[in-house]
Structure 1
Amino acid sequence: MANEALVLYTNPMSRGRIARWMLEEVGQPYRVELTGYDGAMRAPEFLALNPMGKVPVLVHEGVVVTETAAICAYLAETFPQAGLLPAPTPAARAAYYRWMFFAAGPLEAAVSAKALDLLAPPERAGTVGYGSFERTVDTLEHAAASAAPWLTGERFTAVDVYAGAQVIWGQLFKSLPPRPAFVEYAARLQARPAWQRATALDDAAMPTPAD
């Protein structure tokens, strides 16, 4: 039986896939509560967990964690034995925080704005955190090209889960250009057994046409 101490509220068509991947990397047993877009996320009991009415939500021994980047960081710190924290050097820690917050901030905002045709006009680029989509993509490309082989160096960490998932999705859904640095980094990520397990579990939970 899965450990009731870790419960993930998720949907296979959401950023909850990142949280599931992170849990698989951590290696602790957990239970999944599949939460539909049929009103379940607006139910009072769910809103009591996350007033934003969205997944993923992680509940750990009664403590609620929302926001995917926060879930990844929380799990890495709560289960240090999984080895998903950066090396204890200034350079590794700086890269870890830099790219975690870059992915949660400018990258997420730029990709979403472009998908919705809501990018800031060039003359207003200075008013948004991402500046421009092109500059954000160039910055991400620099990070991926510099990964040796991971964003903090030799050690795979939670930032590779969170930022890396966005690179993978960017290639799958063509929201990021297929630059060699992205393709190669995504291939390294997709070769990880935890990513493969998490993907298989979420794919199996996808609704069928009959649903």
Structure 2
Amino acid sequence: MIDFYTNPRSRGAIARWMLEEVGAPYREHRLEFGTTIKAAEYLAINPMGKVPAIVHEGQTVTEAAAICAYLADAFPEAGLAPPPAERGAYYRWLFFGAGPVEAAVVNNAMGFVVPPERKVAVGYGSLDDVVETLEARLEESPYLAGERFTAADVYAGSQIGWGMMFGTLPTRPVFEAYWNRIKDRPARAAAAAKDAA
């Protein structure tokens, strides 16, 4: 049994989608912002006082991308990670989502603009650089890691879907086509229904 700490209006939605994809039993602990999420009991699990987090077989994992990677490895029968010898693209795009995409989108949403002459000092360069890189990848491949859906699509795909929904990423035909390929997966529908409830 996995203990899953979340709030439905958070990145916990990504972890829940991944939990549903792997089909592992989990027990939900719903935390509230400003109260239980900062309680000593939860801070012992995640000192950042953020969700999501999971505890599985004595292992505590925080950060949505790390949870996706962990669950793909812990439940290999779900087929959400390529064989170890073929994981280059998988790791690249999973962590591109966790690094450049996350930073560029959040900074853009907060109104932080990197001066062009300082782009080299920022890991993502600019939002335009990130968008063009994602667009080029999805023009050459149906999924981020290649020909099949993986945990990289759960994580970075969520970022793309939310980005278009909230206007923090531009809506591009290739992003819409990609999102349409992944958004109706049964595991995502199940996760969304549980969060909505």
Query: Equivalent of 1:183, from 170, 173, 176?
Result: 176
Match of 1:40 among 36, 42, 57: 36
Q: Name which of 106, 109, 117 aligns with 1:112.
A: 106
User: Which structure 1 segments of 5+ residues have no match?
Assistant: 205-211
Q: CA deviation at 1:182?
A: 0.3
Give the TM-score normalised by the residue count of structure 1. 0.90
Q: Distance in 2 between matches of 1:152 and 1:57?
A: 25
> Is the aligned partner of 1:95 residue 2:93?
no
Structure 1 equivalent of residue 129 of structure 2 = 135
- Give the match for residue 198 of structure 1: 191
* Counterparts of residues 1-211 of structure 1 (less than 5 Å): 5-87=1-83, 89-90=85-86, 93-147=87-141, 149-204=142-197
Report how far residue 45 of structure 1 moved.
0.9
**Partner deviation per Cα, 1:143-184 (whole Å, 9 max, x = no partner):** 22222x222222211101001111111111111111011000
Contact persistence 1:86–1:155 (CA under 8 A): no
Q: Is the 8 A contact 1:8 1:59 kept in 2?
A: yes
| Equivalenced residues, count | 197
For 1:47 and 1:29, locate their aligned partners in 2 and report how far apart those are by CA, in whole Å: 24
Q: CA deviation at 1:61?
A: 2.2
Residues 86-130 of structure 1 show CA distances to partners (whole Å, capped at 9, x for unaligned) of: 14554xx11101101111111100000000011211111111101
TM-score, scaled relative to structure 2: 0.96
Q: Per the alignment, in what secondary structure is the counterpart of residue 61 of structure 2?
A: strand
Paired-residue identity, % = 57
